[in-house]
Structure 1
C-alpha cells in the first residue's frame, strides 16, 4: 500500500488510476522509526503538509490518477487513520471537498466517494468492517484464495478495482439499505483472527531490517 502510493505520487503521469490497500500517506515518514509510528497512527503530518509533499514529488500538473483506498476497520498493523490521511492528501490535487459526495454499502461494507468537477469518482474509500491487515477477497466470486493477509471478507478488492478501471464488464451496484449488513459467519471471523494472531507483521519487518543493517 505505501509503495503503491509512493509510485502514484512520484510518477502520476504514468497512471490513470491506482489502488492503495492498507497503505500510508506519501512521504509521511523519513526514518524507519517514524514509519512504524505512522503505521500506528502517531505523528501523521497535517493535511497541508501532506498535500505539499504530493505536489512537490513531481513537476506534474495534471490530470491526476483516480485513487481507490481500501482499509480494514480492525487493522492493528496499519491504523485506519492512515487511510483518511491518504484521502486528504489526494483531495487537494483533485479539487474535491473534504466531505464525501456519496456513501453507500457495497457487498456489506462502506464505500465513500469524492466526485470531481466532471462528476467522476476521483477518490473512493472502502472501509472493510472487522477486517485486519490484508487484502479483501470474496472467494465465492472465483477471484483469489485465502492465505496469510489474503482475507475472505465477502468483497473482492481485485474485482471492484478492475471494474472501476474499466477492465472487466460493469455491473450495476446494488446499495444495501441501512441495517441490512450481516456480520461475517463465525468461521470466517475465526479464520481471520487466526491469521492475525499467527503473524506479527511488525516483528517480521523489524527482523528483515535488522538483517539488512537498516535498523538496530
Structure 2
C-alpha cells in the first residue's frame, strides 16, 4: 500500500516548480495598513523578509515588544485587520513587529517553517526576524527581557522554531494552530505532520529545542492554541508542542490545572515556584485559525474565527502584558458582568463539514481530536491526497 509520504514525495518537484514561478517584480507591492510602518533597513536579511512595525504615539522606554507572524495567504495588513494588535498595543503599551513573507519566497506567503535553512539560529528567515527584533529594541529603547512572539499556522510553526533557535531572545510565545519545532524538514514531511501529526517521545522533542542553541535556561513560557475540529493541522500537533515544552521546562510528569468554560478547555502547568510556564487551549468545534471575540473589537475573516474567545487578549495576560487598567476595564465589560451569558459555543458553522462529522465529543461537551475516517478499501484516494496537499500548500483553491 502506498504511503502518504511517498505520494507527497512525488509532488515535491511540482511544488518546487510552482514556488519558483511564484515570485514577481511586484511581489512586495501589496496593499498595506497605514498604521504599519515599513522599515527598509534592519541589518542582515538572509531570509529576504519584509519588516512592518507599529509603535503607540506615547510609547514609554522599556516597553515590551510583540512579534506577530501571519499565516499562509495572509499579509501583515490582513492579519492586523482581524487581530487588531495595534489596538492592543495602544491599550497595553507595547510595540508590535510584523515580519511579512512575500511571494518571491513562497507563492502563498507561508513562512518556510519546514526548511532547515530558514529556521536554524543565524540563518534564513529566522535570522531576518532576529535582526528585526534587534532593530526594534535598539531603535525604541524596548525591554530586551520582554520580547514575545505569536503566530498562526505556518506562522505558528515558525514561532515554534524561533522559540527553539532564540530562547535567549524571546521571553514567551503563543503557537496557534501550529506544529512542534522539528516536525518537518521537507515539504513531504510537512504534509504528513499537518494531516497525521508528528509524534515523538517527550525527550526527543525536548532535545530538538536544546540542540537548537547553546542556551540552557531560563526558557520561554509557551501558550498553545488549537481548534478541536482543525482538519488542516490536526489537534494532536498541539499536544506534541505541549509535550516538547514540558520536557524543556522539566515538567514532563507534572499534572496540569484544568479549566473548562464555554466550549474551551485550558490546561496550565506551573514551575516549582508557582509560575505558569506552559498552557494549552483547545476550543471545541473550532476549525483552523485564531480564536477571536468580535465583541472585543476583533474582526472575523479567513482563518480568523469569531468563537467568543479572544486568544490574543488571553495570551497577553499569560505573558504578563495586560495592564492593570485594562484588566479593570475588561472586568467591567458587559461580557463579564454578573449574570452575563457565556459566549456562544462554536457551532458547525465554525468547522469544515468533514470535521463536523468526525469530531468526537465527550460528556463535558469538549470535541476531542479527530480520527481519520475508516477506509472502505485498501486503496488510497490518490487524487484526494494530491488535492488536499496542494490546498494546504496554498497552490489550489
Q: How does 1:46-125 map to 2 (within 5 A)?
A: 46-125=201-280
Report the Cα distance in structure 1 between the residues aligned to 2:281 and 2:170, rounded to whole angstroms. Answer: 20
- Describe the shift of the 1:64–1:71 C-alpha distance in structure 2 as closer, same or farther (beyond 3 A): same
Distance 1:43 1:58 in 2: 22
Larger RCO: 1 or 2 (CA < 8 Å, sep 6+): 1
Alpha-carbon distance in 2 for matches of 1:110, 1:65:
22
Q: Are the counterparts in 2 of residues 75 and 132 from structure 1 also a CA contact under 8 Å?
A: yes
Gaps of 5+ in 2: 1-155, 332-340, 356-386
Matched residue of 1:20: which SS? strand
List structure 1 runs of 4+ shifted beyond 6 angstroms: none
2:306 to 152, 174, 192: 152
Equivalent position of 1:164 in the other structure: 318
Answer whether contact 1:41 1:80 (CA < 8 A) is retained: no
Give the deviation of 1:120 after TM superposition: 0.7
Deviation at 1:184, TM superposition (A): 2.6
Give the TM-score normalised by the residue count of structure 1. 0.81
The correspondence for 1:190, drawn from 337, 343, 349, is 349
The structure number with the bigger radius of gyration is 2
Shift of 1:181: 7.5
- Report the CA distance between 1:28 and its aligned residue: 1.7
1:214: which partner in 2? Answer: none
SS in 1 for 2:279: strand
8 Å contact kept, 2:197–2:237: no
Aligned-residue RMSD, C-alpha: 2.9
Q: Which TM-score applies when normalising by structure 2? A: 0.46
Asked if 1:45 is matched to 2:206, the reply is no
Deviations 1:69-125 (A, max 9, x none): 000000000111111101111111211144532001245411000111111111000
Corresponding residue number in structure 2 for 1:25: 180
